[in-house]
Chains A and B, each alone.
Chain A
Amino acid sequence: MTDQIAVLFGPFGDIYRRDRRSPWVGEGYVDINPDDARELGIDDGDYVWIDSDPSDRPFRGWQKDRKNAAFSRLLCRARYYPGTPRGVTRMWFNMYGATPGSHEGHTTRPDGLARNPRTGYQAMFRSGSHQSATRGWLKPTWMTDSLVRKGLFGQEIGKGFLPDVHCPTGAPRESIVRITRAEPGGLEGKGRWRPVELGLRPRYESEAMRRYLAGGFIDAGTGKEG
C-alpha cells in the first residue's frame, strides 16, 4: 500500500525503479517555476542541490561534522511547475527524509535503494529532506496535554482540540534557498528525463502536444471561443 502511494506521489514514480538513483519507487521533488529553472540551467526532471543559510543549515556545525553532513544536504528532482510564480518554489512536507542508514543503503546497495540495512527505514530522498533548508520549530507546549494552554484564535476551552497542542509543527516552513543543478534527469543520468524528450512537459511541448493543448484535433463546428 505505502509503495503504491509513493509511486503516485508526484510525477517521478516508477514501481520498477528503472533509475537506480531513485531512492525508492517514488521520491521527493521540488516544484519550480519553469522560467526560473531555465535561468538556472535546470531541465525538468533534473536532480538539484538545494541549500539554505549555511550558518545553521542543514544543521548547526555541519562544517565540522562531515559524517552527518554527508546525508543532510538536500538532493532531489526538480519538476517544472507552471502553477507557482517566479521566485517561489514548493516542496511537500510529508515525505520520509534521508537518514544515516538510508544514505548508507543508497550508497552501498547495488540497486541504490535508500533503505536502512538494519532497520528497513525507507527514505524518499537520496540525501537530506525538505527540513534540510528549514529550521526546526518546536512549539513550547508541543504534545504536552497537561501544560497550561494559551488562548489562540479565540479558543480558550480547557479540553479538546487546540491548535497550539495538536497541530503538526516544525516542518512546514519558508526559507530562502539556492538551487543548483546536480545531475541530468534521464535514465541513470543520461540525457533528459523521458517525458521531456517525448515533448509532453510544460515548456518542452512537441507540435502534437501544442495542438492537443489547444483542442486542435477536433473541429466541433461550434466556434473556437472558449
Chain B
Amino acid sequence: MALVRNWQLGRDMSYWYPEARPTRQFAAVFDINKCIACQTCTLACKTTWTSGRGQEYMLWNNVESKPYGFYPLAWDVRLLDMLGAQRWEGSRYAGRTLFEAAPAGERVLGWRPDDLDYAHPNVGEDDCFGRIDRGAALSLPHAAWFFYLARICNHCTYPACLASCPRGSIYKRPEDGIVLVDQGRCRGYRECVKACPYKKVFFNPSTGTSEKCIACYPKIEQGEQPQCFVNCIGKIRLAGFVSVPEKARPDNPIDYLVHVRKVALPLFPQFGLEPNVYYIPPVHVPLPYLEQLFGPAVKGAVETYRRAPEDADLAGLLALFGSSQQVMPRWKRLGDTVLGLSEDGRELVRVPLREPVYVRAALDSVRGVVRTNVP
C-alpha cells in the first residue's frame, strides 16, 4: 500500500500502487440537465465495440434513470450499503474509501454481480421518487423527481480494477490516462469486475477475459471525441483532459468547469478512485441525494449552473458541447462568439454564444395565409 494524493477528497489516501499520474488525463464533462435518455450514446457504443459473441449483455456506455435505475441491478446502493454511512468535513472526506475499507487480505471493498443483475439494463426507466396525486403536476416545484445518469468508464486516476488485478493485466496509459485490459494477459479471474464500484468492467464468457470501455482510444489518438460523445443528440458531453487543481488552466474547458467554476463534479468521489468523468448535477433533485452521489460541492455547482444564463463565460463554454467531433483542449470567448481551440491555439470550431432564434410572423403576407407557430 502507498500513500497517494486524491484531490477530490481533499486529502491523501492509501492505494495499492504509488501515485503515477499520466502526462495528460482523459476526462469528460456530462451535463445531466440536458440528457433525455434517448440511448443514442448507448447504441453508438454498442454498434462500434460490443456486437460480438459474449458481449451481448455488455453496455460499456449506459444511461439509467435515477433513483430507481441501475445497470447492473443495485450497483451503487449495494456498495453504499456495504461501505456504510460516511461523512465529509467541509471539502475534506472524513470517511473511508473503498481501498481503506477493504476486508483483510483484499485490496478493494467490492462485490461481483450475478449474471441476472445485468438482465434489465433499463429497469427503473422514468420512475420518479414521490407520488403524483391528482393535480400535482400543476404545482411548482414538483415534489417528485428523477433524472438520467449517462455512464461510461471513469478512467479513474486510482482505478480499483487495476489495483485488484492479481496478474497486473490492467494498465493506465501514461500518455492519456485511459485504462485498458490487456486481452493477452487477462485470465478472467474477474477480480476487476468485483472491484470496480461503477461496474464498468465486464467478463466475456466467450473469450474468457474481461473487457471495458476504451474511451475510443483510436479516436482520441487522432484528436477526435469518442463515439458516445459525437453521437449525443442532446449535446450533453464534452471530452478533453483534466489537470490536477494546482495546474488548472482557465483556457482548458474541462479545467474551467471542474476547477475554476466547480460546476462539474465526480460521481461517488467518496469511493476514492478519483474518477475522471465529471457531471453537472441536475438542478431539481433534493440535496441529500445529490450529496450522496456528487459530494459536498454539489450545492454550489447547482447554484452556479442556475446562473449560467447571465454568465457569458459559462454559457459560452456550454455552447461548445457537441459542437465539434474533435477534442478541444483549449477554448476562449470573444464577445458573442465562442472558439474551440487546439493545444497550440488553432481554431477548431466557432459557435455563437447563444443560438439565434427566429420566430416567424403568424401571417404569411406573401401567400396570404396564417401559419401555426409551435413553441
Instruction: Please list the residues of chain A having a beta carbon within 8 angstroms of any beta carbon in chain B.
Output: 1, 4-5, 7-16, 18, 80-86, 153-157, 194-195, 198, 200-202, 208-209, 211-222, 224-226
Contact = CB atoms under 8 A, between A and B. Distances in A.
A222 B296 contact: yes
Contact of B88 (A200, A208, A220): A220
Contact of A220 (B39, B70, B87, B130): B87
B121 A7 contact: yes
B46 A218 contact: no
A198 B296 CA distance: 29
The 6 closest A-B pairs by CB, nearest first: A215-B288, A226-B286, A226-B287, A220-B291, A219-B87, A208-B81
Contacts of B296: 220-222
Contacts, number: 164
A196 to B, nearest CB: 10
A215 B88 contact: no
A62 B321 CA distance: 55
A222 B123 contact: no
B129 A200 contact: no
A8 B73 CA distance: 14
B308 interface: no
Contacts of A225: 287
A222 B289 CA distance: 12
Contacts of B88: 218-221
Contacts of A8: 39, 42, 121-122
Contacts of B84: 217
9 contacts: A11-B122, A11-B125, A82-B144, A155-B370, A198-B73, A200-B74, A217-B81, A218-B87, A219-B85
Which residue, A14, A211, A219, has most C-beta atoms of chain B within 10 A?
Answer: A219
A217 B80 contact: yes
B134 A85 contact: yes
B93 to A, nearest CB: 10
B247 interface: no
Given A1-B43, A224-B288, 13 more contacts: A4-B47, A15-B56, A82-B132, A83-B127, A85-B133, A155-B369, A194-B119, A212-B76, A213-B289, A218-B86, A218-B295, A226-B288, A226-B289
A16 B85 contact: no
Contacts of B125: 10-11
A1 B47 contact: yes
Contacts of A12: 120
Interface string B292-311: 10011011000000000000
Interface in B72-125: 73-74, 76-78, 80-81, 83-90, 95, 116, 119-125
B77 A208 contact: yes
Contacts of B167: none
Contacts of B85: 216-219
Contacts of A9: 122
Nearest to B286: A226
B287 A221 contact: no
B270 interface: yes
A75 to B, nearest CB: 19
A84 B56 CA distance: 33
Interface in B30-61: 39, 42-43, 46-47, 56-57
Contacts of A212: 67, 76-77, 80-81, 292
B370 A4 contact: no
A156 B363 CA distance: 12
Given A8-B42, A82-B127, A85-B132, A194 B288 contact: no
A18 B116 contact: yes
B87 A83 contact: no
B371 interface: yes
A198 B74 contact: yes
Given A82-B131, A216-B288, A195 B144 contact: no
Contact of B120 (A195, A217, A220): A195
A215 B134 contact: no
A195 B73 contact: yes
B367 interface: yes
Interface string B333-372: 0000000000000000000000000000010000101111
Nearest to B129: A213
B68 interface: yes
Given A16-B119, A84-B132, A215-B290, A153 B86 contact: no
Contacts of B13: none
B126 interface: yes
B283 interface: no
A4 B121 CA distance: 10
A224 B130 CA distance: 18
Contacts of B260: none
A4 B58 CA distance: 11
A87 B290 CA distance: 32
B333 to A, nearest CB: 32
Nearest to A200: B74
A149 to B, nearest CB: 12
A156 B46 contact: no
A195 B72 CA distance: 11
A37 to B, nearest CB: 13
Contacts of B95: 218
A15 B133 contact: no
Contacts of A10: 122, 125
